């Protein structure tokens, strides 16, 4: 499973999304590679995203056990049921070689995130990448809830973002 | 709305520990690097990304073969 295929699949299904998180930062020029990819979507598209991504071969996390290990499903009904009851604010999909977080509760209204995003070509698919300013807002929010290790990474990312904004060099 | 704001405040704070083999981690890294190359081409910053990936891969191969 590859990110390109996921982006192609969501686009072909007419689902609007914006690339956020570490991959968005990479596209803005940060050299820190993360293991998971993050996309923001509209809340109204949650069910369709679940259907499309499970059909594409991903498993969805529908909880964690006492050791924080994920409970997975490929059953669309179970996954939608979990999403309706969950207060996580995001969906997590995994495969053997891929991790994807699909976030629907973000500190910026999706319409604003989408409006200010940059269009880029990923293969033959036009996709949207969050603006550096909006990545900063999301990083600031996330920083407050992360453990020490993740907070260090957040601070490193914020340093990169601040430099980028100071330089006025949003070069996607 | 208040609920949404609260959820946004704790954005992605759920602790999910996915157990990966070193091979899987290398695959994930490889996919990310490949994707970034497809978007940004052979730019200077990507050399750092690729070098880091290749170093991890070499270390992994060495550990596997020893």
**Cβ neighbours of B39 (radius 10 Å):** 20
User: Which residues from A are below 8 Å from B53, CB to CB?
Assistant: 33
Half-sphere exposure of A134 (CA within 13 A, CB side): 23
The mean pLDDT of A74-91, rounded to a whole number, is 94
- Which residues of chain A neighbour B48 with C-beta distances below 8 Å? 31
pLDDT band at A41 (very low <50, low <70, confident <90, very high): very high
**Which chain A residue's Cα is nearest to B1?**
A105
What confidence tens digit (pLDDT) does each residue in A133-146 have? 999 999 888 776 66
Q: Which long-range contacts (CB under 8 A, 24 or more apart) does A87-90 make?
A: A87/B3, A87/B7, A88/B7, A88/B14, A89/B7, A89/B8, A89/B10, A89/B11, A89/B12, A90/B11, A90/B12
What is the Cα–Cα distance from A59 to A68, expressed in whole angstroms?
Answer: 17
Looking at the partner chain, which of B12, B19, B32 has a beta carbon nearest the beta carbon of A33?
B32
ipTM, two decimals, is 0.70
Mutate to test the interface with B, among A60, A105, A137, A144 (most CBs of B within 10 A): A105
- Judge: B13–A145 Cβ closer than 8 Å, yes or no: yes
Q: B7-57, pLDDT tens digit by residue?
A: 444 455 567 777 777 777 777 777 888 888 888 776 666 777 777 777 777
**In this complex, which of B8, B39, B53 lies closest to A33 when CB atoms are compared?**
B53
């Amino acid at each position: 499973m590859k990110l390109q295929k996921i982006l192609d699949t969501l686009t072909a299904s007419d689902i609007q999304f914006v690339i956020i998180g570490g991959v968005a930062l990479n596209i803005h020029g940060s050299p820190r590679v993360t293991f998971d990819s993050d996309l923001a979507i509209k809340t109204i598209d949650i069910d369709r995203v679940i259907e499309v991504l499970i059909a594409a071969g991903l498993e969805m996390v529908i909880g964690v056990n006492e050791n924080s290990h994920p409970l997975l499903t490929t059953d669309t009904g179970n996954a939608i049921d979990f999403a309706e009851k969950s207060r996580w604010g995001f969906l997590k999909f995994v495969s053997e070689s891929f991790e994807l977080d699909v976030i629907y509760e973000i500190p910026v209204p999706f319409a604003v995130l989408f409006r200010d995003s940059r269009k880029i070509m990923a293969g033959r698919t036009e996709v949207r990448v969050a603006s550096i300013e909006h990545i900063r807002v999301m990083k600031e929010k996330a920083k407050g809830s992360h453990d020490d290790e993740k907070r260090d990474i957040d601070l490193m990312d914020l340093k990169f973002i601040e430099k980028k904004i100071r330089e006025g060099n949003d070069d996607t | 709305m208040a609920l949404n704001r609260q959820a946004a405040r704790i954005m992605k704070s759920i602790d999910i520990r996915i157990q990966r083999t070193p091979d899987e981690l290398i695959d994930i890294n490889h996919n990310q690097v490949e994707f970034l190359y497809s978007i940004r081409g052979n730019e200077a910053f990507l050399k750092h990304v690729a070098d880091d990936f290749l170093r991890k891969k070499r270390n992994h191969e060495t550990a596997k073969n020893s």
